[in-house]
Amino acid sequence: MDWYKDISRFFPVAPWLVEKLEEAENNSREAIAAVNAVSDRNHFKVLRAFQKHEVNEYHFQDSTGYGYGDLGRSTLERLFASIFGGNAALVRPQIVSGTHALTLALSALLRPGDTLLSACGRPYDTLATVIGLVPRVAGSLREWGIKYAEVALDTRGRPDLVKIGEAVTSLRPRLCLIQRSRGYSLRPSLGIEEIARIVGTIKEANRESVCLVDNCYGELVEDKEPGEVGADLVVGSLIKNPGGGLAPGGGYIVGREDLVEVVAARLTAPGLGGELGAFTEKRLYYQGLYLAPLVVREALTGAIVAAAFFRDLGFNVDPLPGERRRDIVQCIILEKKEALLAFCQGLQRGSPVEAGTLPEPALLPGYKDEVIMAGGTFIQGSSIELSADGPLRPPYAVFLQGGQTYPYTRIALLMAAQELINRGLLQEKRR
């Protein structure tokens, strides 16, 4: 390809690295084709929903103050319900993150004395803080008398269906949490079929337990969503997959109407619920959702090629290039602190925004280890734009996600690898 001949003229990248990336692309064609097929089906699904709900230009108008009678807001929520498998939705810019969306749902549905059961082992760091695991902070669920239990993953890092069934039968939890993505753990992410089996196991043991799926990073990766396979609530962030890189913030909660109403009351006030809440820049949310299948496809293409590229450079990767994709996250095991820093700082130099800054590790709210985060994103913290982060603890894994356009992602991957070379952490691998 012509661009391979030109890239070293514009970016300080070794020609042999460019050749390695070209090889990785060529060897990933079958996996990329599978991603494209899923993306095509999700395009049909999203377009059909837009037409079904008769989206019009007036739906993009801003609302102010209380936001009563906002047709654009209610239509957007019906779109999310249709696409993500619920009969109601709460889609709001007032929800500041995926963790906030989960906290809203948990706080709304759990009462003192209730039990929250995590079906997939220990939740990721910030949610563990919300629950009241170490470190404990004011306002956690445990502080409000919520009991917590978890079912450890099996020896393969998969949910243990037998033990989940036993725990639900014994504890009769009010709510069961199913975390689709891996967080900062090395366990595999969950696919739709596996989520369906977990939900089925929980419901067989206790029909009354609410199944809540943390869907962050997994939206539109497969051709079904957790709400379509029995989940009662599905929760996520709009600066990840469903925002398409255009939504400037916000989160969503989709599922059973009675449960969504309870969460809406927690977001605003009892008796007010989802009937108010000013909403501006709605066109960006609609357009982001419309483009989301394409953006997710680009992110997955980047993840597949990154897996092949860095595996060929000698690193362990998870998932492997040809494995079925369940979310947009690609884990690369770098083994050394210096390599983790070099990767993130190199990737930052390949970003469109703040390319001249140098990300450094820091102890962030909700995390127990220092974390380094790289990503020159147009929207602060946007994980559907290309970003990479990881905790400073062995095995020094970096978690790569996003990438609105693959041509930009390939340059960032090369810059990350080049920085490893510059610091003596990677040698040329001769054929």
Summarize pLDDT for 276-291 with one digit per residue, the tens: 999 999 999 999 999 9
* Confidence band, pLDDT 50/70/90 cuts, at residue 2: low
Shared domain check, 186 and 66: yes
Q: Do 94 and 207 reside in the same domain of the chain? A: yes
Regarding whether 300 and 276 lie in a shared domain, the answer is no
**Which conformational region is residue 265 in: left (phi greater than 0), alpha (psi within -120 to 50 degrees), or beta?**
alpha
Residue 126 has pLDDT above 90, yes or no: no
Across the strands, what pairs with 148? 116
Paired residues of 331 in beta bridges: 318, 399
Number of domains in the chain: 2
Residues 331 and 198 in one domain: no
Domain boundary among 265, 289, 313: 289
356 and 208: one domain?
no
48 and 31 in a single domain? The answer is no
Query: What's the alpha-carbon Rg for the chain, to the nearest Å?
Result: 21
Q: Who wins on pLDDT, 8 or 17?
A: 17
Among the residues of 212-358, which ranges form H helices?
257-267, 282-312, 337-349
Query: Where is the domain boundary, 262, 289, 316?
Result: 289
End-to-end CA distance of the chain: 20
128 and 226 in a single domain? The answer is: yes
Is residue 361 located within the same domain as residue 327?
yes
Does any domain span residue 430?
no
State percent of the chain over pLDDT 70.
97
Is 204 within the bounds of a domain?
A: yes
Separation CA 80–CA 259 (nearest Å): 15
- Domain assignment of residue 303, given as a range: 2-41+293-422
The pTM assigned to this predicted structure is: 0.95
Pairing of strands 251-255, 371-374: unpaired
Instruction: Name the token pair of 161.
Output: 């269906």
Do 302 and 236 sit in the same domain of this protein?
no
Amino acid at 149: A
User: Packing angle between helix 282-312 and helix 29-52, nearest 10 degrees?
Assistant: 170
